[in-house]
Amino acid sequence: MNLTEVAQDAIQQALKRGATDAECTISEGSEFSASVRLGEVETLKEAGSRGAGLRVLIGRRMGSSYTSDLTPEGIRQMVASAVDLAHLTTEDPHAGLPDASELGSLTEDLQLFSDEVAGLAADKKIDAARRAEAAALSFDPRITNSEGGSFDSNIAGRVFANSRGFAGSYRSTYCSVSAVPVAALDGKMERDYWFTIARSFSGLESPELVGRTAAERVIRRLGAVKVETQRVPIVFEPRVARSLLGNLFDAVQGSSIYRQASFLAGKLGEKIACDKITLIDDGTIPGLFGSQPFDDEGVPSRRTPVIEKGILKNYLLNTYTARKLGMKTTGNASRGITGNAGIGHGNFILEAGEKSPEQIIAGIKNGFYVTELIGSGVNIVTGDYSRGAVGLWIRDGELAFPVSEVTIAGTLQEMLTDVAEIGNDLEFRGSVSAPTIMIGEMTVAGR
């Protein structure tokens, strides 16, 4: 049996045991990773694994189970387990699979898979890691140490089938190269990182560029000071602007909305951000990391405008949360092997503006250019935002000196309406993509 047949067989077994509906997800993956530190190979890892997950419904009661054992006995136990559990859960009027009319798969080639990745020789991969680290180490004498260069690749397969007639599968690949140099000045160390990621080996940026970029990033952190507490304009570079989009995703996904656990609950159609903000979720763009032909309930991926010129247009939903809200799924169901479908994003993209980052910075007399955020201090329920920050102080339109051990704070509501500029530097490095974002004013807490 191929994996699609294994999934379909599990569904048939569930129906025979009394389930009224069932769906089965199978994933398989093989990973390779190599890390090189100070020029020497440090770690090589290579392996593969598989797993299956099953969700069954008995009327409006739901149970789920999973296994890493895809033998007939393993599948049989998985089915028995899910059916047993469905007898223990509560009737939920909104539980159920998507309607048959909602199921389907994109037919165009999304360019998620490259044969090249499977055929790549180990020494070529190790060499990429070595070159990235070497480029970082040779960039500046203040780079005295390294956490290494690394190469990672992954080949994955996904199968999904349900009792309403859907069966689909797709394969995907990715590879990435990264470097993590450490620099020191006056006995104080800093580290930073940079990476490139692509569906194919030939789509990667050069390891040397990765190493040099990581090196530039760590060097500019040396000699950081803590500034005084004050309110100033804040500029998020693209890497940290992406984390802000991550917070917004949490606030627009359906399960936060129906529970009223988001500051954006009940705000559909309202102006929640300044006109400059247009935020799109799009799972259909060929070659990108958030693209897939169908979601984890068998609903085709699509393009969903989330915020258009500051107006909240859509929440991101799976079948369950859509029914709770009296809406239609947006094809954003996402699950691993265990549990039920939650919600994920496709390519979550903040549209670019017109100014370059340099032009944005040039317009600021006194402000903070943020290059790293740490901690989890974002409360989606209230919108309260307070995170540890690292970056460069802006003085008279230029990046003047490095800053660390400070926090930036405000609320997501105010930040959205106070966006002063959006940069033209949108790039795709992962499934969340943002250009530079400038916020009019936030509190920087330091000395």
Partner 1 sequence: MAFSDSFFAAKFGITQHDLESYLSDALSRGGDYADLYFEYLATSSISIDESIVKSATQGVSLGLGVRVISGERTGYAYSDDLSPEKIRHAAQVAAMIAAGPAKVEKTPLNEGPRRNLYPVITAPSETAFRERVELAQRADVAARAYDSRIFQVQVVYADNLRQILVATSDGMLNWDRQPLSRMSVFVLAKDKDGVPQQGHAGGGGRHELDWFRTERTPEYFAQEAGRQAIVQLGAVEAPAGEQIVVLGPGWPGVLLHEAVGHGLEADFNRKGVSAFSGRIGQQVASPLCTVVDDGTIGGRRGSLNLDDEGNQSQRNVLIENGILRGYLQDKLSSRITGAHATGSGRRESYEHIPMPRMTNTFMLAGESAPEDVIKSVPRGLYCANFAGGQVDITSGNFVFSASESYLIEDGKLTRPVRNATLIGNGPEAMKYVSMVGNDLKLDEGVGICGKEGQSVPVGVGIPTVRIDKMTVGGTA
Site for partner 1 in 173-202 (CB under 8 A): 182, 188-191
Site for partner 1 in 381-400 (CB under 8 A): 381-382, 384, 386-388, 390
Region from 286-294, 308-316, 373-381, 426-434 binding partner 1, contact rule CB under 8 A:
373-381
Q: How far is the CB of 112 from partner 1 (least distance, A)?
A: 22
Distances from the Cα of 86 to the Cα of 33, 61, 91, 355, angstroms = 40, 5, 9, 55
Q: Whole-angstrom Cα distance, residue 155 to residue 201?
A: 12
Per residue in 250-263, is it b (16+ CB within 10 Å) or e — as a string?
bbbbbbbbbeeebb
Site for partner 1 in 71-100 (CB under 8 A): 77-78, 81, 84-86, 88-92, 95
For residue 70, give the DSSP letter: -
User: What phi and psi, each to the nearest 5 degrees, are found at residue 153?
Assistant: -140, 155
Residue 150: name the closest of 288, 29, 45 by CA: 45
Q: How far is the CB of 242 from partner 1 (least distance, A)?
A: 17
Is residue 120 within 8 Å of residue 201, measured between CB atoms?
yes
Site for partner 1 in 120-159 (CB under 8 A): 145, 147
List the beta strands (DSSP E) in 351-445: 366-374, 384-395, 398-411, 419-422, 432-433, 437-445
Kindly determine how many residues on this chain lie close enough to bind partner 1 according to the rule CB under 8 A. 75
Site for partner 1 in 215-274 (CB under 8 A): 221, 224, 226, 229, 259-261
Question: Across the strands, what pairs with 63?
Answer: 56
User: Per-residue string for binding with partner 1, 27-56, x by CB under 8 A?
Assistant: ----------x--xxxxxxxx-xxx-x---
Q: How far is the CB of 344 from partner 1 (least distance, A)?
A: 17
Site for partner 1 in 329-348 (CB under 8 A): 337-340
Q: How far is the CB of 440 from partner 1 (least distance, A)?
A: 14
Q: How far is the CB of 286 from partner 1 (least distance, A)?
A: 28
In the complex with partner 1, which residue's Cβ is closer, 287 or 388?
388
In the complex with partner 1, which residue's Cβ is closer, 81 or 356?
81
Distances from the Cα of 118 to the Cα of 30, 79, 172, angstroms = 9, 33, 11
Site for partner 1 in 280-319 (CB under 8 A): none
User: What phi and psi, each to the nearest 5 degrees, are found at residue 165?
Assistant: 100, 0
Q: How far is the CB of 386 from partner 1 (least distance, A)?
A: 4
Which one of residues 410, 423, 435, 440 is an interface residue with partner 1 (CB under 8 A)? 410
User: What phi and psi, each to the nearest 5 degrees, are found at residue 84?
Assistant: -55, -45
Which one of residues 18, 59, 72, 375 is an interface residue with partner 1 (CB under 8 A)? 375
How buried is 270 (Cβ within 10 angstroms: 0-12 exposed, 13-18 middle, 19+ buried)? Answer: exposed
Region from 7-15, 234-242, 297-305, 375-383 binding partner 1, contact rule CB under 8 A:
375-383
Instruction: Tell me: does residue 443 bind partner 1 (CB under 8 A).
Output: yes
Q: C-alpha angle with apex 89: 87 to 94, nearest 5 degrees?
A: 115
Which one of residues 63, 98, 233, 367 is an interface residue with partner 1 (CB under 8 A)? 63
Is residue 214 within 8 Å of residue 180, measured between CB atoms?
yes
